[in-house]
Structure 1
């Protein structure tokens, strides 16, 4: 073998060795974990290429600077099809897994929970405080929201289903509310079709209003349909509903935590100690159990109920029994406060 052939052979060996080493380094880099000690939210702006992605990852100290980043994308081009969006990187995720996630377009999901019995003003405050939501509502007025959703203004309170909704970054506040409204509309429509015969409701709004009253009156699941029966019985007899939560709702911001006799005697559209029949609309967002109770109330003779001091209520059929139950509750409350 000549010196020249030996030299060429040596060079080939070195090149092969160099390529093997580089390939090994690329694979090592791809399998290395991200430089994060906890979950990280990462946003890749629209129009970002490889250089911009690498620079952003370096700047946020998610991936250290490495000559192998670009080579990995050349070696595995399917990882270079990354899409703009906001993603969730977990601790222990490798560089390859991260790039695969960016290429999948599976953006991070963020939850927002609206609880049963809450009001639209509370929902709007939650939306404004929630991360990654695009705020499009100019203000928190019902008129603004009704216009954005193309619904009657009187259908704002109550007509949104309380649940946990997941959203991706830059989802609008209106989009989330539209989903909640569609869900409530669907549930109410189904219950309206299957409700008990002879209930004193003029329309679906009455059913939803009753459900919202039940929601605010009790948190005990087993009681809901019984509470609904009390109000149904009162409506049938022409008695006033006389439910405190409606009075509180009608007072708005003037309610300071305690109802007075004057409050109960001051007329508002929602003061059921003053008005006959149902208030004009819901006073909160009822959950599924309260909606079902309003549509399928128990068949009872109860006309009154009062807290029993143990988390539930005592139900009675006449005023004398009710007054005795009230005295028992007051005594229990007094003893509790003296402890």
Structure 2
């Protein structure tokens, strides 16, 4: 009888020790230094196969213990497929929580204000962590894929930094950026000055794209917008070089010449009145705001001072004097 009691006591002690050891393991970091480890869980696999995939990728986890952890916590069937990242000091318990919550490895791609859509496509196609499912699509096909009402993509994607899980679709980024631009444009349009000479939000987007390319000075965007709005209202040509350059396409060699200003294209605002037919860049939120809430000004002209700022003039004589002064200073 005493022997049986000893066996029972021993068994209880062993069980307690095992539970304590298991609990300690579950709360102890798998790694303490070194780089993060990337791994992928395939769709439709169980916890056993998922654990094997982690181990194969270099995750230093005990597969038997991890399987037990997943089952005793009731989370074995809740693991989500996707690409993950094991960061230093992650415990088995936190790793399991990461898999259950679908806390995928986060990547980022930045679309820069003032880029053209072509530059955006180049950046996404070059990103190593995206799934390139739009490379063979034409611009028209891409716009149809994202269910856009527009056919020309220029200007219709909001420049921002977008986070995504490793292996995400390029198309998902395009959809997100397109919807973001539509949302920002709608918000700006709803608070616009009703006297502005735009027929629709798209024309405001065209103006915003011009403002984006005309100045890097955030403080001057309202004044730039005011000048162009004044020109539209009076029937003057916009005479904005960035639009001419956009219309030149691959012919632009870095310098704009008098001949270029005289060569007609749909985007040559020196030969045609009104707005260009499409945006010429991807405008940011400040350029959208400037286009729809321009500064109240009588200015019709502006010229660069050569220091990043501009001189604004209300008449041609004043403008010509400013051109002579500031172009001579900059050696032009």
Please report the TM-score for the alignment, with normalisation by the length of structure 2: 0.90
Shift of 1:307: 1.0
The structure-2 alpha-carbon separation of the partners of 1:63 and 1:257, relative to structure 1 and needing over 3 Å to count, comes to same
Q: Does 1:44 align with 2:41?
A: yes
In structure 1, what is the Cα distance between the partners aligned to 2:53 and 2:109? 28
Q: SS state of the match for residue 78, structure 1?
A: coil
Aligned to 2:314: 317
TM-superposed deviation, 1:117: 1.1
Residue matched to 2:26: 30
Deviations 1:38-81 (A, max 9, x none): 33333211122232222222222222446533333344333663
SS of match in other structure, 2:273: coil
Correspondence for 2:87: 90
Count of aligned pairs:
331
| Residues 110-129 of structure 1 mapped to structure 2, 5 A cutoff | 110-129=107-126
1:142 aligns with 2:139: yes
**Which whole-Å deviations, capped at 9, do the CAs of 1:252-293 have from their partners, x for residues lacking one?**
122121111221111111011111211111101111111111
CA contact (8 A) 1:248 1:255 kept: yes
Is 1:275 matched up with 2:272? yes
More helix by share: 1
Structure 1 segments unaligned to the other structure (5+ residues): none
1:158 is aligned, of 135, 142, 155, to 155
Asked if 2 retains the 8 angstrom alpha-carbon contact of 1:80 and 1:99, the reply is no
Deviation at residue 245 of structure 1 after TM alignment: 0.3
Q: Is the CA contact (8 Å cut-off) linking 2:46 and 2:76 kept in structure 1?
A: no
Structure showing greater Rg: 1
Q: Distance between the aligned counterparts of 1:184 and 1:234, measured in 2?
A: 26
Q: 1:171 aligns with which of 159, 168, 173?
A: 168
Output the TM-score relative to the length of structure 1: 0.89
Measured against aligned partners, the alpha-carbon deviations of 1:70-110 in whole angstroms (never above 9, x if no partner) come to 33334433366322122233221111111111122233333
Q: Counterpart of 1:334 in 2: which secondary structure? A: coil
Residues 75-84 or 237-246, more deviating: 75-84
Is the CA contact 2:144–2:151 (under 8 Å) kept in the aligned structure 1? no
Q: Deviations over 1:219-257 (max 9, x none)?
A: 212211110111112222222111110011101122121
* Aligned positions of 1:151-300 closer than 5 A: 151-152=148-149, 154-300=151-297
Structure 2 residue runs without a partner (length 5+)? none
Partner of 1:99: 96
